[in-house]
A and B are shown apart, each in its own frame.
Chain A
Amino acid sequence: MSIPWNQVADVAAAVCLLGGAFLALAAGVGVLRFGDLLARMHAGTKPQVLGLMLVLTGLALRLRSASAVGALLLVVLFQMLTAPVAAHMVGRAGYRTGKVRGDLLVVDELTADLRRAQEQPPA
């Protein structure tokens, strides 16, 4: 008895697509309901990396061609390179324009560091 590999790949693709779509839903709900810029960013990063990887894995399992899988790997690579940079820029702009609420943070090392740097300028 031979294993029907095509059907196995299709089922795995369906599971991956469902997971990625669920993460996109979670991000939408989170970005709508969370009340703070950092919390919204936290919700938004879920489908940006893991969700996209799941969806593209599902797509690769459906397409099953080498060139398409290469391009999809390129998409994941770009996303993993660019998502941290974009999040860093948004977070920095948010901190500098006072959109980070200090009372919601558990640890805020940046504010303490900045104050120390202002008090003791480097020699």
Chain B
Amino acid sequence: MMSYEFLMQLVVNGIVIGLIYGLIATGLALLFGILHIVNFAHGEIVMLAMYTLAVAVPFLGGSYIASFALIVAAATMIGWLVSGALLAALSARRGDMAAFEKSLLLTLGLSIILLNGVQYIFTATPMMVTTDIPVGAFLLGPVRLSYAHAIAGAIAVVVFVALYVFLTRTNSGRALRAVAQNREAALMIGLDPERVARRAITLSIVLCAVGGMVLVPLYVFQPIVGQALLLKAFAIVIIGGMGNVLGAALVALALGIIESMVGGFANIVWQNAIAFIGMIAVLLIRPQGLFALAMRKG
């Protein structure tokens, strides 16, 4: 039953989910780009932000935006503190394992602790948060868009514009990109790698928190929610080029739309396979990723 309305509905649904994937995947790409580490606890940070929002909303009279702003501020502070601890834990002075291997074990352990810790505190009862965002949908031309989807999409667009401006127009952002492109050259021009790394970790955690918080009005969730999202984020980062932040954002958006189309017109079973088929194809044909034009060697 092919119709213009249905097609547009799928495109809009895909854009919103793609933007949300983007929030989660860019944080992961940033960490890999700057620190060359993989964060297995990324999905659990998304989940943690969702549960934190669930706790905050009733305290702030149901206000979604106030809770959102509060948690962004908290995530920035916590992110800065965590970044110091993480860098210390990964530092070469401790043990003889490389930072990459250490990051695998450390973040995997962290993921298990966070997942089970949250389930211990909140139990696995499906969590539904009632906010001041109205339940229901409005018509956007031929397309029905729920208020929750519209707000998630709008927040993601604002965040991406801000991220783009930050990375391309500010000195801190340029420093991030410089370290990602060529660490040695960045050192030579006097950038402090530790400071840059801490900014990258903080930014990654804040992006993750935003990614989680926009999902809260959309979903009824459980502590396991981050796991499915993390697998997709990994696929997106690999397709876009490990460490390429803007590449990850573009791939995420494209994946959202393609998934929606495939799910809409083919079988739903294929919908979840797309990300991984894409990942395998990229690894076979272009292992450095689609957007890795100016990648540094080593």
Q: Are A and B bound to each other?
A: no
Q: What is the interface of chain A, defined by CB distance below 8 A to chain B?
A: none
